[in-house]
Chains A and B, each alone.
Chain A
Amino acid sequence: MDQLLQLVLAGLATGSIYALAAIGFTLVWQTSQTINFAQGEFVMLPAILVLAAVKFLHLPLPAAVLLATGAFLLLFGFGFKKFLVDPMLRHGVLPLAIATMALSILMKEGAKDGFSAEAQQFPSLVPDGAVNLFGATLSLRDIAIFIVAVVAIVLLQLFVTRTRTGRMMQATAQNPDVAKILGIPTEQMILLTFLINAGLAVLASFLISPIYLAKFSNGEVIGTAAFIAAIVGGFNQVRGALLGGFIVGLVDNLAAAYVSSAYRAAVPLALLVLVILFKPEGLLGRKEERTV
């Protein structure tokens, strides 16, 4: 029981990080039909940038965090949309998807050659420690990760559903042509979703790197997990991405403990296959409706 509770908490903590990346996935999909295969690398890179700023520019940690965040938003929020998505999307969804795959390789190899091939310690935002709850020993760090991620997601959801800007974002995603006719600045709204996606990636990076260490190859695991989370939950729903993130996090952690740690990565994939077979629109997803 004690162990189960710890595993569930650890699962929810990593799951909430997957959810951050999965929500970014669904946001850019909704506003610009972009499937970003570099999403995992988006989560890998910000932590590496922070460490690089400390190492090469000799900045103190808070300044390095600020610089890395700013640079990442500029390059992979604004720049990603402007210089990769916009030019490629004109040729269709598939060329764009392949371009994002190329970007993922570039980011991964760039991090390896430009910084380090070794896993690096990344400072944790909260001290290591444990609390006793209902007789179980729970990691303080897991609790903190869970709370930070969930608060971020709730704030995002409030922004999307409770502000006028959020409503214009929804309108842009649901019917871009009419939104444009009504005078809604659809280009700005789409750019905003890319900035939000980059912001979520930065947050996920800072939360996960203390656990997994900062390493150039982290994106493979995170990207796959986030992709599965988005599909399991329903690709066109933020709520779905959240649920999918938790499910993948839980399944991943429980499988490692109770099935076999060698096969832990296979279990979420099996879940993906089952969802695609029996509920292809995802657990909370809607069937895609398009007017012709």
Chain B
Amino acid sequence: MSARDHLARGAPMLRVENLSKHFGGIRAVDDVTFEVNEGEILGIIGPNGCGKSTLFNCILGQLQPTDGRVTLGGEEITGLFPADLNRRGVSRTFQLLQVFPNLTVRENLILAGQEHVGSMMSRLFGPRDAGLGTAAEKMIGFFNLGHLADSKAGGLSYGQQKLLDAAMAFMAGPRLVLLDEPAGGVNLTMLASLKERLRAINREQGATFVVIEHNMDFVMSLCDRVIVMAEGKVLATGTPDEIRADPAVIEAYLGH
């Protein structure tokens, strides 16, 4: 617990101010404000259609917010494209798996590690691992993918692909990682290992996490702090224990 308290005291890494996203008359995200501290694991939960995915997409530059600001380490990043954000140390995992199916696990990791950086000559004649071999090896070991390193990613089981997806998000040494339903469709054994690995890498790399997730047990045991959203607005914020006890949250989940 003391490690978590220590981390939670870091400076704000991500700040979302008065963010709104309207689709015609629908306010999918409505004036949302929150902060995530450096090294913190923040969970965002809420019923289907509450706006959490839209919020994610606005932060990640896949949708342009109607209004509001997003800053990363004090620098404004509102409306930047995904590739620009990636370059600034923001990475993500995907709800639906998005690996490169016909490349090996190792090649997937090297691609995720910003290998496109460098001159045309180095891309043609430089070493194949692009200087990322050691980092890829470390990540393979960390996520227990050693026996699969040279297998095609498309042949992996769903759970293994989820681990690879997570490993790819950490290859470039990100400052902020947004995890989109990391536990979705993962079996119980794999889930425990995934959660343990995520906590370990959070401690080791000191990266800040924002997690969208439906699996309550997973969120409550992984996150330092949780935001509950309903109808595009922030309904409650607090530690997992505070959230579990909040009557407004219980009502939002059980309906009116």
Which residues of chain B in 140-193 are interfacial with respect to chain A, using CB atoms and an 8 Å cutoff?
Answer: 154
Q: Is B125 an interface residue (CB 8 A)?
A: yes
Interchain nearest-CB distance for A237 vs B (Å): 10
User: Given A174-B100, A289-B154, A291-B96, does the pair A181, B86 have CB atoms closer than 8 Å?
Assistant: yes
A184 at the interface (CB under 8 A from B): yes
A121 sits at the interface (CB 8 A): no
Count class of interface residues, chain A:
20 to 34
A185 at interface by CB-CB < 8 Å = yes
Set of chain A residues within 8 Å of B118, measured between Cβ atoms: 164
CA of A167 to CA of B120 in the docked complex: distance in angstroms? 13
Cross-chain contact B111 with A168 (CB below 8 angstroms): yes
Q: Is the pair A178, B124 in contact by a Cβ cutoff of 8 Å? A: no
A interface, by DSSP: helix, strand, loop or mixed? helix
Which residue in chain A gives the minimum CB-CB distance to B125? A163
Q: In the complex the two chains form, what is the Cα distance from A175 to B98 in whole Å?
A: 7
B112 located at the interface, meaning its Cβ lies under 8 Å from any Cβ of chain A in the complex: yes
Q: A171-B103, A175-B98, A175-B99 are in contact. Are A183 and B83 (CB under 8 A)?
A: yes
| Contact residues in B for A181 (Cβ distance below 8 Å) | 82-83, 86, 92
CA distance A178 to B93 in the complex (A): 10
User: Does B138 sit at the interface, judged by CB under 8 A?
Assistant: no
B 78-113 to A, binary, CB cutoff 8 A, 1 in contact else 0? 000011001100001010111111110001001110
Q: A164-B128, A170-B102, A171-B100 are in contact. Are A183 and B123 (CB under 8 A)?
A: no
Question: Are B103 and A167 in touch, CB under 8 angstroms?
Answer: yes
A163-191 near B? 1/0 per residue, CB < 8 Å: 11101101100110111111111000000
CB-based nearest A residue for B111: A171
Q: Is the CB of A168 within 8 A of B101?
A: no
Q: Judge whether A162 is part of the interface by a CB distance below 8 angstroms.
A: yes
**Given known A168-B116, A171-B111, A183-B83, contact A178–B125 (CB-CB < 8 A):** no
Determine if B116 and A182 form an interchain contact, defined as CB atoms under 8 angstroms apart: yes
Q: Is B130 an interface residue (CB 8 A)?
A: yes
Partner of B114 from A174, A183, A291 at Cβ < 8 Å = A183
| Minimum CB distance partner of A162 in chain B | B128
Hey, which chain B residues are within 8 Å of A178, CB to CB? 94, 98-100
Chain B residues lying within 8 Å of A183, measured Cβ to Cβ, are: 83, 86-87, 114, 116-117
**Looking at A162, A165, A178, A289, which has the most chain B CB atoms within 10 Å of its CB?**
A178
B31 at the A interface (CB under 8 A):
no
Q: A185–B100 contact, CB under 8 A?
A: no
Q: Considering the chains assembled together, what is the distance between the CA atoms of A180 and B100 in angstroms? A: 12
| Chain A, 92-140, CB within 8 A of any chain B CB | none
B86 touches A174 (CB 8 A): no
Which residue of B has the minimal Cβ distance to A177?
Answer: B98
Q: Is B126 an interface residue (CB 8 A)?
A: yes
Give the distance in Å from the alpha carbon of A179 to the alpha carbon of B97 in the complex. Answer: 13
Quick one: closest B residue to A236, CB to CB?
A: B102
Q: Which residues from chain A contact B126 at a C-beta distance below 8 Å? A: 164
A180 to B115, CA, bound (A): 13
Q: Which residue among B100, B116, B124 has the maximum number of chain A CB atoms within 10 Å of its CB?
A: B116
Judge whether B111 and A184 touch: CB under 8 Å. Answer: yes
- Given A171-B111, A183-B87, A185-B116, are A164 and B123 also a contact pair (CB < 8 Å)? yes
- Interface mask (B45-80 → A, CB under 8 Å = 1, otherwise 0): 000000000000000000000000000000000000
Most B CB contacts (10 A, CB to CB) among A164, A175, A177, A185 go to: A164
Instruction: State which of B111, B114, B124 has its C-beta within 8 Å of the C-beta of A163.
Output: B124
- The chain A residue sitting closest to B86, CB to CB, is A183
Please measure, in the bound complex, the distance between the C-alpha atom of A171 and the C-alpha atom of B154, giving whole angstroms: 13
**In the complex the two chains form, is B86's CB within 8 Å of A182's CB?**
yes
Q: Which residues of B contact A291 (CB under 8 A)?
A: 96-98
Question: In the complex where A182-B112, A182-B114, A183-B83 touch, is A168 in contact with B123 (Cβ < 8 A)?
Answer: yes
User: How distant is the Cα of A181 from the Cα of B111 in the complex, in angstroms?
Assistant: 11
Nearest-neighbor residue (CB-CB) of A170 within chain B: B103
Instruction: Assess the B107–A167 pair: CB atoms within 8 A.
Output: yes
Binding site for A on B (CB under 8 A): 82-83, 86-87, 92, 94, 96-103, 107, 110-112, 114-118, 120, 122-126, 128, 130, 154
Q: A170-B102, A183-B114, A289-B154 are in contact. List 16 more A-B contacts (CB 8 A).
A: A164-B124, A164-B130, A167-B107, A167-B110, A168-B115, A168-B116, A168-B123, A174-B101, A180-B83, A181-B82, A181-B92, A182-B111, A182-B114, A183-B83, A183-B86, A291-B98
A-B contacts, 30 of them at CB < 8 A, read A162-B128, A163-B128, A164-B115, A164-B122, A164-B123, A164-B124, A165-B120, A167-B110, A168-B115, A170-B102, A171-B100, A174-B100, A174-B101, A174-B102, A174-B103, A175-B100, A178-B98, A180-B82, A181-B82, A181-B92, A182-B111, A182-B116, A183-B86, A183-B87, A183-B114, A184-B116, A185-B116, A289-B101, A291-B96, A291-B98
The 5 A-B pairs of least Cβ separation, nearest first, read A181-B82, A183-B83, A164-B123, A165-B123, A178-B98
Binding site for B on A (CB under 8 A): 162-165, 167-168, 170-171, 174-175, 177-185, 289, 291-292
